[in-house]
Structure 1
Amino acid sequence: MLEPVMHILQSKRIILASGSPRRVEILKAVGLKFDVCPSLYEENLNPSKYKCHSEYVLDCASNKVQEVWDRLSAEGNQPDIIIGADTVVSMDGRLYGKPNKEDKAIEMLKELEGRAHTVFTGVILHMGTDRVKFTESTKVFMAPISEETIKAYVKTGEPLDKAGGYGIQGLGGSLIQKIEGDYFNVMGLPLHRLCQHLVEIVSNAN
């Protein structure tokens, strides 16, 4: 999708405001040239104060992008485009973030196994005075999983620091029966809609 405008995108300084290896992998797969500048924003928003998860992830992504923009601007190093994203898992109105300990990951997977949950990602494209923002949701059906399997999976270390406590692109993919929606959204960056907006941004600017 990006091929007709890739020569223009390649001339832009694009920043990914995330240190996520999955997001880096997704952007590299479509041939995009970019630099990684993880946001230093401290994620301290209270999700319970939001009417919907989409608003929450958008605000989180927006704050990440703003921190990077302000920092680079202060250094006199403004990019052309900053891409920022935030991803959460939701089930029964509850948000599941990124477990940082094995026991938290086990607890999370015990609740998600055998049921369907939704992955929400908020994306911000920041171009100086202009911004594009959107959200994507994907329904994920996790298979029934034994406690033994959950504990063995968590021992691999893969679930740590991943929303919902699993990585669909890795070993965790074997735990997923099916999805409804964008696969890349579950990885942390809805690729199709991101590319759509990049094409629109470049086309409108030229």
Structure 2
Amino acid sequence: MTHKFIYLASQSPRRRQLLEQLGVRYELLLPGPEEDAEAIEAVLPGEAPADYVQRVTALKLDAAVVRHAQRRLAPAPILCSDTTVALGPRIYGKPADAQDAARMLAELAGREHQVLTAVALQADGQRLAALSVSRVRFGPITPAQIAAYVASGEPLGKAGAYGIQGPVAQYVENLDGSYTGIMGLPLFETAGLLRAAGVLG
């Protein structure tokens, strides 16, 4: 079945921008005030980063499918995605505040970490999913540089307290994987799911 547009169940402006890069038409399908998005993102004890990001994405998609039905919207595929940063087994979600952001960046400085982005698409009663795993190495970052970056406000609301497309790029010594995946929506994997669902040619 061919679809003219999809629903994007994400608040992220970067994901919107990346979908536009693919030329995909979308409508936002965002949670209402009654939905507890933070509860969905809670980490289970001992959960591995890849298991965590895929589970959270599936839960976000479950919630979006219910929302779509409750709002009696026109049928179309629903896309969800979630990104997490991991240093070994430790999961770095969105920082709670500026102090938490500074702590995360200090721990990531001078080391290699993983960025995992899971994507899930519900289309015609079928669920398709993919996982992108990238490795990023930061060079040294001084406390003054961390303080200046945190003061800019950019780390807040971002997994691992940074956005690869922002000023933090000056500290990225090496990147192995998907740049768009690190931004929040791996376009290679996402395009594959959209093709399978008849959205892209």
- 1:150 deviates by 0.5
Q: Output the CA distance in 2 between the equivalents of 1:186 and 1:37.
A: 22
Match of 1:181 in 2: 177
Match of 1:48 in 2: 45
> Where has structure 1 moved over 2 Å in runs of 4 or more?
38-50
Greater shift, 65-74 or 130-139, is seen at 65-74
Per-residue CA shift, 1:142-199, capped at 9, x if unaligned?
1101111010111101111111111111112112112100001111111111102211
Gaps of 5+ in 2: none
Q: Is the contact between residue 129 and residue 193 of structure 2 (CA under 8 Å) also seen in structure 1?
A: no
Residue identity matched to 2:59: N
Q: Is the contact between residue 61 and residue 78 of structure 2 (CA under 8 Å) also seen in structure 1?
A: yes
Aligned with 1:35 (options 13, 20, 27): 27
Gaps of 5+ in 1: 1-7
Match of 1:193 in 2: 189
1:25 aligns with 2:17: yes
Percent of residue pairs bearing the same amino acid type: 34
Match of 1:138, SS? Answer: strand
Q: Output the CA distance in 1 between the equivalents of 2:153 and 2:113.
A: 22
Q: Is the contact between residue 41 and residue 64 of structure 1 (CA under 8 Å) also seen in structure 2?
A: no
Q: Output the CA distance in 2 between the equivalents of 1:100 and 1:196.
A: 34
- 1:201 deviates by 2.3
What root-mean-square deviation, in Å, do the aligned CA atoms of Structure 1 and Structure 2 show?
1.8
- 1:49 deviates by 4.5
Match of 2:75 in 1: 79
Per-residue CA shift, 1:117-162, capped at 9, x if unaligned?
0001111101142000121100001110111101011110111111
Q: Output the CA distance in 2 between the equivalents of 1:154 and 1:142.
A: 16
Q: Is the contact between residue 123 and residue 197 of structure 2 (CA under 8 Å) also seen in structure 1?
A: no
Q: Output the CA distance in 1 between the equivalents of 2:196 and 2:123.
A: 13
> TM-score, normalization: structure 1?
0.88
Match of 1:151, SS? Answer: helix
**Residues 161-172 of structure 1 mapped to structure 2, 5 A cutoff:** 161-172=157-168
Q: Output the CA distance in 2 between the equivalents of 1:41 and 1:26.
A: 26
- 1:38 deviates by 2.4
Match of 2:198, SS? Answer: helix
> TM-score, normalization: structure 2?
0.90
Number of residue equivalences: 194
Greater shift, 182-191 or 127-136, is seen at 127-136
Match of 2:101, SS? Answer: helix
Q: Is the contact between residue 137 and residue 173 of structure 2 (CA under 8 Å) also seen in structure 1?
A: yes
**Residues 1-206 of structure 1 mapped to structure 2, 5 A cutoff:** 8-9=2-3, 11=4, 13-39=5-31, 40-44=35-39, 45-50=42-47, 52-202=48-198
Greater shift, 41-50 or 123-132, is seen at 41-50
Q: Output the CA distance in 2 between the equivalents of 1:168 and 1:46.
A: 23
